[in-house]
Structure 1
Amino acid sequence: MTVCIIGGGIIGLCSAWYAAERGFSVTVLERNPEGGDSCSLGNAGMIVPSHFVPLAAPGMMLYGLRQLANPESPFWIRPKPTKELVDWGLKFMKSATQEHVDRSAPLLRDLNNTSRAEYETLAQTFGNEFGLVKRGLLMLTKTSPAFEEETAMAAKARMLGIPAEVLTPEETAKLDPNITMEIAGSVYFPNDCHLSPSKLMAGLARRLKERGVRFVYSASVAGWVTTKGQVTAALTSAGQFEADQFVLAGGAWSPEAARGLSLTLPMQAGKGYSITLENPKQLPEICSIFVEARVAVTPMGGALRIGGTMEIAGNDLSVNPRRVAGIVKSVPRYYPAFSEADFAGLPTWSGLRPVTPDGLPYLGRPEKWSNVVVATGHAMMGLSLGPVSGKLVGEVLAGESPSIALEMLRPDRFA
């Protein structure tokens, strides 16, 4: 059986890995040239079983609207609404309920826990060349209200079986003594991990090629050949590719490819930025999130990566300096040993996260096509959920019963 995977990001490569493990002959079509960038390369590299609340949660839409006037805010929407953005926004508001959060939390917990276990297996297989570090994650707060909210979130996490510890500033400093912090307190999630995304992606691609997986670069999908409820070929800028089964894992560009199959996949690209300090003044041992600033901080070897923002501005990778300034200004507030000058002149990476209206990925077969699997829309948890998504794709391709129920992730749920 042959499988053609559309997309060479973390979801596409993990899908290829688990499909190849089952004996499929796999071709990966990637829209970028070989060595090109993707949303999987410059992110914070976090694996987060602690993240059991979907982006579509009560209060998120109001929060976003309040931030519109501040171009340096953690969340921003370009004030040029399109039909697709309005439709996505209405669906987001409808999804952002407490009932949705309560239904999604056990699923996200199970997905993240399974993915973490798969990462441990991959680390053993790869000799941990991608630097998996299992030291947990700190949610750092500056204010008492934020600390109280995170304390309440820790209680909910423990109810779901997710370990969480509420720490004073002194206890936090003892846990990670290599970094000076000015905080009101923190919550520590010991099961979270971090790694180097670029090393992971390079290692996956290299081993897939060694297994005989074919990669075709600069291959944007322009159309499809179909017959009797099945797709027989993908038409791309690099030619026509036939296969027995197809996996749509194109990230933020998935809706564009899906239109040719009459699939409705509401999605917005959520742009994020990161800056990497190669020789930081101080280097924490534990990855952290600045809660109020919504900024992620990850040690990667001897470097320190700092990233954040959710900018809804279409499939546009251009860098907005005001958005980057918001990230940079937050660092000295939590890590006073640093100054804004430390980041002057450093290159800024940008990537597009595929964001669905309910904050859950699209994963499974659409009703219209019996030999297509959709695997996209992972938003900010793409790297965290890469292996479990690939594992589930492999199971669906092989006709097996998925090890985690996919009902809530159906790609047709907004059709």
Structure 2
Amino acid sequence: MSKVLIIGGGIVGLTSAYYLQKKGYEVTVLDKGDITDNCSFGNAGMIVPSHFVPLAAPGMIKQGIRWMFNSKSPFYVRPSLNANLIGWGLKFMKNATAKHVSQSAEPLRDLSLLSKKLYEDLATAPGFDFELANKGILAFYKTEKAGEEEAHLAERATELGLDMAVLTPAQCKALQPDLALDVLGAVHYRCDAHLYPTKLMNALLKYLTDNGVKIERGKEVDRMEAAGNRITKVYTGNQAWEADQYVLATGSWSPAVAKMADINISLMPGKGYSFMEPEPQHRLTVPALLCEARVAITPMNGSIRYGGTMELDKINTRINMQRVKGIVESVPAYFPDLKPALPAEKDIWYGFRPSSPDGLPYIGRSKKRENLVIATGHGMMGLSLGPATGLLVSQIIAGETSDLKLAPYSVER
């Protein structure tokens, strides 16, 4: 039986393990932590075919510069002489064009739709109750400018075969009747869905453990050995790990791990924050995006999860309370009945989204190491795109025809 070693125990690593185990591979997953501290647990739980516009889009540079001078804004780049940030930024500026947005739309749509279908299949499997709900997402806006942008997005989505609808305030209220609304309208991303990430990850871990996949926690890869163009061993301290094929699914830590294999990956960690509040009244039933504030709100397991912000910086343990305050203060402006309290630092979750400079993930083999498959760079859509990425990883390793064309996600693009 062929052996596969997966480095990284987030949603991409675990779904890769899931599909590889189904194909009969002997799989081991290494994770530097205890797995529960990664982005796949603390995110908004949204499955978003609606998000076919990459982060690298016209207007983002100008908007980003404006946001940098507001301590509560949803986007921030910490000024730095960091060579990785400078290189990433130059590539981002090169890609922030209308042409790039147009070229990226179908690859992002196709990856999302495949993932959504796989989630729906997974939800019918025994032991996989993770609160999958196909209610869509309501993207609320308060200004005419944001309304025009959302209407344009809905028009383009319809051209791509995605189900969206522009709603009046009265139509919004009909979908969300138990909450007061202060909005000009919303776009209902009816093609989207949501789930409870903690239940999903725990179900995956249980299935994998029950079916012979080895999950090794607290194993941080610090060295690799290679012979020719193949990786031969991976080390965690003094312990060596050998396999026939290797998968790099280490999220924002991918550039450092890839460098051990003499591979350069352009990636920046984008820190996001989230926190939970009980919601026994169950007033929020459809997940919401607050367009101007860039905040996500999701009903989850009898509570509400609030999340947002994107801080591009080195990986760190700082909690910027001003950013969290920005999330808290934005909510009542759209939902006067929802007034989340500023959480204590111990109740704030943060994680790092692995952001590529063109907004597309990296999925494929490395030309330098023929037995290494790279699967990273999903930005804010790691959970949304996880199953599709895992399936593609398994098809690449098995030498099968993949469900999607892989060129747009090429590691060497």
- 1:146 CA drift (Å): 0.7
Provide Cα deviations, 1:232-252, integer angstroms capped at 9, x if missing partner. 111113611000000000000
Given that 1:364 and 1:393 are in contact with CA atoms closer than 8 Å, whether structure 2 keeps it comes out as yes
Query: 2:28 — aligned with what?
Result: 27
Alignment of 1:13-24 (within 5 A): 13-24=14-25
Query: 1:217 — aligned with what?
Result: 217
Residue type at the aligned position of 2:207: R
Given that 1:281 and 1:338 are in contact with CA atoms closer than 8 Å, whether structure 2 keeps it comes out as no
Provide Cα deviations, 1:276-319, integer angstroms capped at 9, x if missing partner. 11236663111110000000000012100010000012111321
Provide Cα deviations, 1:308-333, integer angstroms capped at 9, x if missing partner. 00001211132110110110110110
Instruction: Quote the Cα distance in structure 2 between the aligned partners of 1:10 and 1:139.
Output: 25
- 1:2 and 2:3 equivalent? yes
Instruction: Quote the Cα distance in structure 2 between the aligned partners of 1:343 and 1:64.
Output: 25
Residue type at the aligned position of 2:368: K
- 1:339 and 2:339 equivalent? yes
Query: 1:62 — aligned with what?
Result: 62
* More displaced stretch, 148-157 vs 343-352: 343-352
When residues 324 and 238 of structure 1 are mapped into structure 2, their CA distance, relative to the original with a 3 A threshold, is farther
Query: 1:234 — aligned with what?
Result: 234
Alignment of 1:95-110 (within 5 A): 95-110=95-110
Query: 1:202 — aligned with what?
Result: 202
Gaps of 5+ in 2: none
Query: 1:299 — aligned with what?
Result: 299
* More displaced stretch, 313-322 vs 110-119: 313-322
Alignment of 1:280-299 (within 5 A): 283-299=283-299
When residues 329 and 238 of structure 1 are mapped into structure 2, their CA distance, relative to the original with a 3 A threshold, is farther
Alignment of 1:250-329 (within 5 A): 250-279=250-279, 283-329=283-329
Instruction: Quote the Cα distance in structure 2 between the aligned partners of 1:215 and 1:127.
Output: 18
- 1:115 CA drift (Å): 0.3
Instruction: Quote the Cα distance in structure 2 between the aligned partners of 1:111 and 1:67.
Output: 30
Instruction: Quote the Cα distance in structure 1 between the aligned partners of 2:224 and 2:343.
Output: 47
The root-mean-square deviation of aligned C-alpha atoms, in Å, is: 1.3
When residues 388 and 371 of structure 1 are mapped into structure 2, their CA distance, relative to the original with a 3 A threshold, is same
Instruction: Quote the Cα distance in structure 1 between the aligned partners of 2:36 and 2:238.
Output: 16
Instruction: Quote the Cα distance in structure 2 between the aligned partners of 1:285 and 1:128.
Output: 21
Q: Aligned to 2:241, what secondary structure does the other structure show?
A: strand
- 1:179 CA drift (Å): 2.2
Alignment of 1:40-59 (within 5 A): 40-59=40-59
* More displaced stretch, 228-237 vs 320-329: 228-237
Instruction: Quote the Cα distance in structure 2 between the aligned partners of 1:330 and 1:82.
Output: 32
Query: 1:133 — aligned with what?
Result: 133
Given that 1:5 and 1:246 are in contact with CA atoms closer than 8 Å, whether structure 2 keeps it comes out as yes
Instruction: Quote the Cα distance in structure 1 between the aligned partners of 2:127 and 2:244.
Output: 33
Q: Aligned to 2:9, what secondary structure does the other structure show?
A: coil
Instruction: Quote the Cα distance in structure 2 between the aligned partners of 1:272 and 1:126.
Output: 32
When residues 388 and 319 of structure 1 are mapped into structure 2, their CA distance, relative to the original with a 3 A threshold, is same
* More displaced stretch, 312-321 vs 293-302: 312-321
When residues 36 and 149 of structure 1 are mapped into structure 2, their CA distance, relative to the original with a 3 A threshold, is closer
Query: 2:174 — aligned with what?
Result: 174
Q: Aligned to 2:151, what secondary structure does the other structure show?
A: helix
Given that 2:141 and 2:184 are in contact with CA atoms closer than 8 Å, whether structure 1 keeps it comes out as yes
Q: TM-score, normalised by structure 1?
A: 0.97
Aligned length: 411
Provide Cα deviations, 1:372-392, integer angstroms capped at 9, x if missing partner. 100001000000000000000
Given that 1:219 and 1:238 are in contact with CA atoms closer than 8 Å, whether structure 2 keeps it comes out as no
Q: Aligned to 1:333, what secondary structure does the other structure show?
A: helix
Identity %: 45
Q: TM-score, normalised by structure 2?
A: 0.97
Query: 2:243 — aligned with what?
Result: 243
Given that 1:274 and 1:307 are in contact with CA atoms closer than 8 Å, whether structure 2 keeps it comes out as yes
When residues 81 and 283 of structure 1 are mapped into structure 2, their CA distance, relative to the original with a 3 A threshold, is farther
Given that 2:275 and 2:343 are in contact with CA atoms closer than 8 Å, whether structure 1 keeps it comes out as no
Given that 1:224 and 1:231 are in contact with CA atoms closer than 8 Å, whether structure 2 keeps it comes out as yes
When residues 42 and 207 of structure 1 are mapped into structure 2, their CA distance, relative to the original with a 3 A threshold, is same
When residues 151 and 338 of structure 1 are mapped into structure 2, their CA distance, relative to the original with a 3 A threshold, is same
Query: 2:121 — aligned with what?
Result: 121
Query: 1:164 — aligned with what?
Result: 164
Residue type at the aligned position of 1:17: Y
Instruction: Quote the Cα distance in structure 2 between the aligned partners of 1:76 and 1:246.
Output: 34
Given that 1:281 and 1:337 are in contact with CA atoms closer than 8 Å, whether structure 2 keeps it comes out as no
Instruction: Quote the Cα distance in structure 1 between the aligned partners of 2:269 and 2:238.
Output: 25
Instruction: Quote the Cα distance in structure 1 between the aligned partners of 2:411 and 2:178.
Output: 45
Query: 2:91 — aligned with what?
Result: 91
When residues 135 and 206 of structure 1 are mapped into structure 2, their CA distance, relative to the original with a 3 A threshold, is same
Alignment of 1:319-398 (within 5 A): 319-339=319-339, 342-345=341-344, 347-398=347-398
- 1:225 CA drift (Å): 1.4
Residue type at the aligned position of 1:362: Y
Q: Aligned to 2:188, what secondary structure does the other structure show?
A: strand
Provide Cα deviations, 1:204-259, integer angstroms capped at 9, x if missing partner. 01100111000111111111111121111111136110000000000000110100
Given that 2:282 and 2:302 are in contact with CA atoms closer than 8 Å, whether structure 1 keeps it comes out as no
Q: Aligned to 1:40, what secondary structure does the other structure show?
A: helix
Instruction: Quote the Cα distance in structure 1 between the aligned partners of 2:317 and 2:300.
Output: 24
- 1:101 CA drift (Å): 0.7
Instruction: Quote the Cα distance in structure 1 between the aligned partners of 2:81 and 2:69.
Output: 15
Gaps of 5+ in 1: none
